Structure 1
């Protein structure tokens, strides 16, 4: 231990003395390890850490899927819930829930918050423990007994000044008083930190009936019994579905054609399904950055250890054994990398803040849980230690194979360096260039892919378009007619405002995040054997909505005031749906219907309501510029014939759309002072938000690649500069024998570009090997896009030539007489 302390003190003195080397190394390690700390903090919090629920591994998500109908994820219906309660025995608890916006407060102080309606079993399943009060009991999950709420800690503070004062008080929710029975702890979290209010979820007899089957709008979760497995749960659900297909034989073939099945999957795995591969790729990329930084540090340590051969030989001559010298070198390097690790952890905190500032956390599940915790710190320090040991291997091996008795003579000659050391440094530089090339390829592909996404036409003009939501509650707007009167008055007041060129309301706005789909068929359409019904987007709109979006009319007409509740039913379809049902023909004047014939779901029945197509519009990208789901088209109903309660306003302006926010709120208050206008965003902002899951990984990849490019360039420069310094006499002899300065410049440049080309070859091979991992992250480009490969190679080559030119120029200016006289 005493010897270790001596080695440690000696290492500190040497590092303090050699400040340029120490600062350069610490900065390199801090940047590389800090980047790893940030990404690992995200990976750990989002992917690795269990959900903050007791025995979270037993929590399962269940959802229905109809892949051949274009609906991969369809959540769950109420009849399914009660079937599974009765006919499965692998679940300890089953629950349905739905996250929804709710309006709290009254006249003059109404506000919109995020709520969650859930069966009482959900909070039991999660072992939720309120800080004050209680959770819902089973009776409160029945119709008429559900007037209770549980508040978040923050909402109780804001409304009542404290959690204890909230118990027993009433809160107006959607215009109706609800009694507060509990307050959750301040750190309570289940899936979404934004939830401020919980309500018990009840269902009517109609919602429970067989008529509601495959009307999916609820999320189902279950907790497996101890000892029950995922495979057992899936087997029981599959068997239940098979029995139901036989019970409802009229639906069997339709469901089989749609590929209907129910997926049972661990809740935590499903939460991260869309970001898992991206995060692991980013983690791999940042480890490449660390590898490049470690190579840089290794070269610096090798150069420094070569310069210290006389010192080491002296200590060896005075009695220090090779093991003592090896321990000294190892102590110095590990001390340095641990210091870099601590600096990297310190940089990690502002790094996470920076990521939050560019709003990536909004695109990540479990974003509220992302933090640098003990595991992240331990992992980072372990990584730093491992880097220290690996970096030490090269100077230690060099030391073990060097004849220290010749060190004085080798040190005294400033000619060529040892071939073994030079070969090691060349291999390290090639690996740096290869890693940097692979990172640059990845960043270039993501950039090219993002550019292709930005070029996708959303189907309408998003500029100068403001969107906002309003939700008239059923307590004051009892039926569709009352809601229509409100909508007419609201739109009339908006259309007279200065700066408004068009305005309309819709049930589902593009890029709004919530969508409704429903099966529809065309009169006379013949389904081929095995063909599935399709479930396109169903959207309800008012006259003026399509003008606000500036949707061009391809055929027919838009909705008008003549389309009333008592006039013939009408529909507008988009071009995708038109090509599906009437390829090569004009759909205007043709009829459609919503299937409902219990004898044959694919044919109209005696009670079928016929709907006439009156117009055709282009396809709009509802779910995003790029969606993994098969696009089945969209059809539009007029609000007069298909009611909606939560509606989104679309306002086309002649200036800055967000500048209209205040006057829109004033217009709404003049009609109903208890209704808040919420989710106010420009359409361009909505599109930008929809791209967060692509933009931020792209920006991170570009940042990592830029750092890698800088490190590779400095590594190449450092090795060549050191070789020039070591070969001064050799270069002087060449010049004395007649070599021109240009020849010397070309000689050094050739050596540098040779290393660069070798690195490019190795990097290209590596990029080809991992191409499949990149393919899922790309849109419109291949994983080996020639233009990207050529551009990245050209950029790296240019930077490498510049890095080589500086030491080459220095070599060409060596004074032969002065160098030979040294």
Structure 2
């Protein structure tokens, strides 16, 4: 019988006892009858024939013994080993609790990190059908102008590479009147959009080909689940209802929307899942396509080549040195900015889990060494190496199983409670929603596989035991100094050095993030965000058709706020931390020497409210009306760049702030002031900003925000006051959101999040390293108790004896620190994209981290050594 057949037979005999007994009896009876019949044919009497047949088969008991042998390896021995292992673990509750708790916490960290990474970086994380085949089409790099004529590109000629052209056009609707008015974010979409993204309806139907007919009665519309529940109370009778909406940007233009269905919950389309879509309607005009769904066998490179050829053939104008079309996956585009953070979190969690495993290995090794007498006695009584290893494997399996169950439960509870917070800290919601951040089969498979691997590695610890020693020597050493040979000492030292190395890597990473956060906090952004509240308002164009109307609205708003005792509102078209579009700024008398600058329309008091320092000239005031001379204020950097040897005041510039087709050329503006540079981001080095009065450009004033500095009141109270004032001045004005400026500082929030996360990881790793060093030194001190007592009896002082332990541990700590420096450099490379104001290989941070770990190691060595020397030598030497 082969080895595989033998194992199979044992499994069958163990799992199906009664059937195995019955088959054995039947088989034995069959062979017995066959042998008896053969003996009868040879001329023997029946009784003699049966007796010889029984002798030939060895008797019934032999076969029963064989059957019991087949079962012996599984239920009997396994059950016995489980009972013995449980008694052994119960006798050492501290070891059991420390091991299970450490592994459970480490597995929970690793599983949580895996769940977050999988929710964002999974191939099908985006909530669309076949999301891995969706790609963004970029006709030009960011900044340069793309070729003209892309809205009429014939996509039918590209069917060999493109399955669906996902075309959309944003439009804003206003539903309702007065206080009941609601702004709707709508998309007019092609049929390829519906098919390519797999848009479905939970109630009613999705858009179909007939809805795109130009003579259709109104526009068929899919409304969002949020709009259906919030506006229509989840009433199924909304199907077939006709909604009269006003088209924003086209005063007096109304459309009729025919509701045909309700979209699935959580549908979004845009740069982030915050870009919620309220309405989908058919697109009946040509529009440029920026997203496509490629065929299954088409690569991004091939699609880019085919699209470049098509654009060259169809474009009416191509910019000089045009590099061609670039195709990028939607999933990659969504997670590109946050990928470094996710990788850093995964690496840190993995490192913590590795340190946890090393710590548990140290505890297991020490426990195994303390059980030297027990092992020797078992061997003397006949236990084989295989049975001892099996017993140890059962113990490790029980510990790892309990830790796995606890880790999964802890992970599920933590992610259920913290998923919204995790999304907020990462700066982008999970593509499939908060529910995607949880324990699924992928995470379970990963953490289960890691647990099995940990169990197998821990099961190898007894392989370090001195199995070949004579029993008498084992018993003697177990009674005096255990089984602490050179192999064991090297194993302990190696594990402790690995703990120190991993902890140093995390401490160094934490130090880098702390220095980065401190540098960010100390960065002068050019304005003071303390107590600033931003209120975004959308005004209707038919009510405010020109700059004079804007002037009246904000003047009345300022009066209302002042009457209520609130702060004065200051308007701006672009808030801090926003990506202000760059436009060409021409200089009078210097044709062709224009520079790119950000143009922001601001109101009276904007610079004072945000604390932007005025360097020269004057700020913009209420006197800068539409009928007044066009003026502007520029930043210091732009002033130095345009007039390096002269004064900017009185010079004329022309920012192209209108940017509307067919609009009249922008006016020349006189520079009346120079203000301090304002950073839009912490890494923003381009401060070419131009500020113009918002009264003098109604196009920039319609969708802006106004700011309040809460003095003498809380930001929340100021926000409520602002909402009330807007409603009183114009009930039809729509307040889109109210939040503090500090809430928008995603870069600093991300740095703080990573700092706090790595600090927690580093603290846990340092604690594990401390416990590991403490355990090893405490065990060594216990083993050398009589030696230490003799040293002290002949005159050695306690500091000298403690110093002996410190010297003995110095080599291990030094090796751990040296290895940790290499690990810290690797972690620093992973964190390089998260740092600001400090390099990834900062010598001061690395030196400070080494000093911290050295102090931690010194305390972990000193404390057990000091306790070991506290006992009287006479007491120790008098013990048997």
Which residue of the partner structure matches residue 279 of structure 2? 198
Confirm or deny that 1:22 pairs with 2:96. Answer: yes
Task: Decide whether the 8 Å contact of 1:355 with 1:361 is kept in 2.
Answer: no
Q: CA deviation at 1:153?
A: 2.2
Task: Quickly say closer, same or farther: Cα 1:142–1:742, change in 2 above 3 A.
Answer: farther
Q: 1:429-462: per-residue Cα shift (whole Å, max 9, x none)? A: 0110011001100110011011111111121121
Task: Quickly say closer, same or farther: Cα 1:541–1:118, change in 2 above 3 A.
Answer: farther
Task: Decide whether the 8 Å contact of 1:519 with 1:536 is kept in 2.
Answer: yes
SS in 2 for 1:776: helix
Confirm or deny that 1:550 pairs with 2:605. Answer: no
* Cα distance in 1 between the residues matched to 2:555 and 2:153: 43
Which residue of the partner structure matches residue 153 of structure 1? 225
Q: CA deviation at 1:310?
A: 2.4
* Cα distance in 2 between the residues matched to 1:135 and 1:586: 62
Which residue of the partner structure matches residue 186 of structure 1? 265
Task: Decide whether the 8 Å contact of 1:103 with 1:110 is kept in 2.
Answer: yes
Which residue of the partner structure matches residue 300 of structure 2? 230
* Cα distance in 2 between the residues matched to 1:577 and 1:145: 54
Confirm or deny that 1:132 pairs with 2:203. Answer: yes
Q: How does 1:1-20 map to 2 (within 5 A)?
A: 1-2=74-75, 3-20=77-94
Using the TM superposition, name which of 178-187 and 518-527 deviates more: 518-527
Task: Decide whether the 8 Å contact of 2:239 with 2:260 is kept in 1.
Answer: yes
Q: CA deviation at 1:22?
A: 0.6
- Out of 693, 707, 723, the residue aligned to residue 750 of structure 2 is 693
Task: Quickly say closer, same or farther: Cα 1:434–1:26, change in 2 above 3 A.
Answer: same
Which residue of the partner structure matches residue 279 of structure 1? 342
Q: CA deviation at 1:468?
A: 0.3
What is the number of equivalent residue pairs in this alignment? 783
* Cα distance in 1 between the residues matched to 2:651 and 2:595: 18
Which residue of the partner structure matches residue 515 of structure 1? 580
* Cα distance in 1 between the residues matched to 2:811 and 2:496: 11
- Out of 575, 591, 607, the residue aligned to residue 636 of structure 2 is 575
Q: How does 1:341-356 map to 2 (within 5 A)?
A: 341-352=404-415, 353-354=417-418, 356=420
Which residue of the partner structure matches residue 17 of structure 2? none
Task: Quickly say closer, same or farther: Cα 1:95–1:82, change in 2 above 3 A.
Answer: farther
* Cα distance in 2 between the residues matched to 1:172 and 1:799: 71
Q: 1:94-122: per-residue Cα shift (whole Å, max 9, x none)? A: 23447788665443344567655644532
Task: Decide whether the 8 Å contact of 1:169 with 1:179 is kept in 2.
Answer: yes
- Out of 124, 130, 133, the residue aligned to residue 58 of structure 1 is 133
Q: 1:318-340: per-residue Cα shift (whole Å, max 9, x none)? A: 33321221122122113212211
SS in 2 for 1:612: strand
* Cα distance in 2 between the residues matched to 1:104 and 1:239: 44
Confirm or deny that 1:440 pairs with 2:512. Answer: no
Q: How does 1:213-292 map to 2 (within 5 A)?
A: 220-240=290-310, 247-248=316-317, 251-252=319-320, 256=321, 262-292=325-355
* Cα distance in 2 between the residues matched to 1:93 and 1:262: 17
Q: CA deviation at 1:84?
A: 6.6
* Cα distance in 1 between the residues matched to 2:491 and 2:202: 62
Confirm or deny that 1:682 pairs with 2:737. Answer: no
* Cα distance in 2 between the residues matched to 1:467 and 1:78: 38
TM-score normalised over the length of structure 1: 0.87
* Cα distance in 2 between the residues matched to 1:430 and 1:712: 9
Which residue of the partner structure matches residue 705 of structure 2? 648
Task: Quickly say closer, same or farther: Cα 1:703–1:150, change in 2 above 3 A.
Answer: same
Q: CA deviation at 1:313?
A: 2.6
Which residue of the partner structure matches residue 798 of structure 2? 741
Using the TM superposition, name which of 378-387 and 769-778 deviates more: 769-778
* Cα distance in 2 between the residues matched to 1:357 and 1:779: 24
Q: CA deviation at 1:574?
A: 1.6
Q: CA deviation at 1:300?
A: 1.0
Task: Decide whether the 8 Å contact of 2:244 with 2:257 is kept in 1.
Answer: yes
Using the TM superposition, name which of 391-400 and 737-746 deviates more: 391-400
Q: CA deviation at 1:785?
A: 1.5
* Cα distance in 1 between the residues matched to 2:630 and 2:285: 29
Task: Decide whether the 8 Å contact of 1:163 with 1:183 is kept in 2.
Answer: no
Q: 1:696-753: per-residue Cα shift (whole Å, max 9, x none)? A: 1221111100100111011111100011011112212322333222211111122234
Confirm or deny that 1:34 pairs with 2:123. Answer: no
Task: Quickly say closer, same or farther: Cα 1:739–1:421, change in 2 above 3 A.
Answer: same
Confirm or deny that 1:167 pairs with 2:239. Answer: yes
Where in structure 1 are there 5+ consecutive unaligned residues?
A: 209-217, 599-604
Task: Quickly say closer, same or farther: Cα 1:518–1:685, change in 2 above 3 A.
Answer: same
Q: How does 1:194-593 map to 2 (within 5 A)?
A: 195=276, 197-200=278-281, 202=283, 220-240=290-310, 247-248=316-317, 251-252=319-320, 256=321, 262-352=325-415, 353-354=417-418, 356-357=420-421, 359-366=424-431, 368=434, 369-398=436-465, 400=467, 406-414=473-481, 417-474=484-541, 476-478=543-545, 482-500=549-567, 502-511=568-577, 513=578, 515-525=580-590, 535-593=596-654
Task: Quickly say closer, same or farther: Cα 1:520–1:5, change in 2 above 3 A.
Answer: farther
* Cα distance in 2 between the residues matched to 1:539 and 1:64: 27
* Cα distance in 1 between the residues matched to 2:214 and 2:624: 39
Q: 1:16-36: per-residue Cα shift (whole Å, max 9, x none)? A: 332111111111111111111
Task: Decide whether the 8 Å contact of 1:299 with 1:715 is kept in 2.
Answer: yes
Task: Decide whether the 8 Å contact of 2:221 with 2:281 is kept in 1.
Answer: yes
SS in 2 for 1:468: strand
Q: CA deviation at 1:763?
A: 0.6
Q: CA deviation at 1:596?
A: 12
Q: CA deviation at 1:397?
A: 3.4
Q: 1:68-90: per-residue Cα shift (whole Å, max 9, x none)? A: x5x8xx9x899434337476442
Task: Decide whether the 8 Å contact of 1:84 with 1:237 is kept in 2.
Answer: no
Could you say what the CA RMSD is over the residues aligned between the two structures, in angstroms? 3.3
Q: 1:223-265: per-residue Cα shift (whole Å, max 9, x none)? A: 01232220112113334555678x537x52xxx4xx8664311
Task: Decide whether the 8 Å contact of 1:8 with 1:331 is kept in 2.
Answer: yes
* Cα distance in 1 between the residues matched to 2:513 and 2:835: 7
Which residue of the partner structure matches residue 48 of structure 1? 122
Q: How does 1:86-105 map to 2 (within 5 A)?
A: 88-89=158-159, 90-97=161-168, 104-105=175-176
- Out of 849, 857, 863, the residue aligned to residue 800 of structure 1 is 857
Q: 1:41-94: per-residue Cα shift (whole Å, max 9, x none)? A: 101111124133222221001235546x5x8xx9x8994343374764422222
Where in structure 2 are there 5+ consecutive unaligned residues?
A: 1-73, 248-253
SS in 1 for 2:584: coil
Task: Quickly say closer, same or farther: Cα 1:149–1:590, change in 2 above 3 A.
Answer: farther
Q: CA deviation at 1:766?
A: 2.4
Task: Quickly say closer, same or farther: Cα 1:98–1:329, change in 2 above 3 A.
Answer: farther
Q: CA deviation at 1:809?
A: 0.6
* Cα distance in 1 between the residues matched to 2:474 and 2:94: 25
* Cα distance in 2 between the residues matched to 1:146 and 1:617: 51
Task: Quickly say closer, same or farther: Cα 1:764–1:685, change in 2 above 3 A.
Answer: same
